[in-house]
Amino acid sequence: MANTNSISKGVLVDLTHCIGCRGCQVACKSWNERSVKETTMYGNFTNPPELNSECYTNIRYIEQEKDSQPVWSFIKNQCLHCKNPACVSACPVKALRKTAAGPVTYDFSRCIGCRYCMLACPFYIPKYEWEKALPWVRKCTFCSERIKADMIPACVKVCPTKTMFYGNYEDVLKEANARLTKNPGKYVNHIYGKDEAGGTSWIYLSDVPFESLGFDMKIPAKELPDLTWAYITKIPVVIVGVLAAGAVSWAITRRNKNMDREEKP
């Protein structure tokens, strides 16, 4: 079971504050030293249109009507860092790990490329470096290095409108509940991420229905690791064969590396 004690960090994203400046998106790229991919404009300001191996967070632009007037909503999108992550449960080599501080981290040296994490994630967050000869899985790290050094995540630090409230998870949840109580009618009466997938470290408040903003409202409150392997066992046996071959290759590679180290003077 993942550690979800009081030292675990969390973030409240109050979508009523976001102005769509993309400062968080730029800060994330800078801190994680990610490059850019060529994109195509298709009549929407969301760019890139989806998260990818070079973009761990983006701002989704949603235009709709409110009181017969066109209005924009801006939605920060990134890994939600589940309290008990399905991706961690699905990984057969423990390349993914839920830390006591909150972030779900990824160990490149352990990954065998099975991509079970991508199948397991209910939010479709992990992305694969399909274009590379030696690909890795990529996703938001919750700035785990910064948190370890008592620094706040890069995206939170640069936000000019304080859209994100960062702190110990229990304090973050209290803040979300307090805003709902003190501002009747301002928000939809739902804290997204409080219960979804058993609870996530990143939670959201919104003034418009979450389903109209692209949030998946069908994700159960049950912690998904309990369901993960029941789902994965239904994958065709050929996929399991690929996984086994990958595991053998991984083991041989690690053994050879260890032998090389031992042979060096």
Q: What is the CATH number of the domain that holds 174?
A: 3.30.70.20
Q: Which residues of 37-62 are buried (b: 16+ CB within 10 A; e: fewer)?
A: eeeeeeeeebeeeebbbbbbbbbbeb
Q: Is residue 20 part of a domain?
A: yes
- In the predicted model, is pLDDT for residue 256 greater than 80? no
More confident residue, 255 or 52: 52
Q: Is residue 242 part of a domain?
A: no
> What's residue 6's pLDDT?
45
Q: Is residue 225 part of a domain?
A: yes
Residue 121's nearest CA partner among 91, 155, 77 is 91
Of the ranges 70-74, 150-154, 236-240, which one carries the lowest mean pLDDT score? 236-240
Taking only the tens place, the pLDDT of each residue in 135-174 is 999 999 999 999 999 999 999 999 999 999 999 999 999 9
CA dist., res. 144 & res. 142, Å (int): 5
CA-to-CA separations, 186 to 20, 208, 212, in angstroms, rounded: 20, 9, 16
What range defines the domain where residue 195 resides?
A: 1-234
CA dist., res. 152 & res. 167, Å (int): 9
Q: Is residue 197 part of a domain?
A: yes
Residue 220's nearest CA partner among 140, 123, 90 is 123
> What's residue 110's pLDDT?
96
Residue appearing with tokens 């928000």: 187
More confident residue, 64 or 14: 14
Q: Is residue 244 part of a domain?
A: no
**What is the mean predicted confidence (pLDDT) over 51-67?**
93
Q: Is residue 209 part of a domain?
A: yes
Asked if omega into 153 is within 30° of 0 (cis), the reply is no
- In the predicted model, is pLDDT for residue 258 greater than 80? no
Secondary structure (3-state) at 5: coil
Taking only the tens place, the pLDDT of each residue in 31-52 is 999 998 888 878 789 999 999 9
- In the predicted model, is pLDDT for residue 4 greater than 50? no
Q: Is residue 240 part of a domain?
A: no
Q: Is residue 256 part of a domain?
A: no
Pairing of strands 96-98, 104-106: antiparallel
The total number of structural domains that make up the chain:
1
More confident residue, 226 or 99: 99
123 in Cβ contact with 28 (< 8 Å): no
> Using 50, 70 and 90 to split pLDDT, how confident is the model at 1?
very low
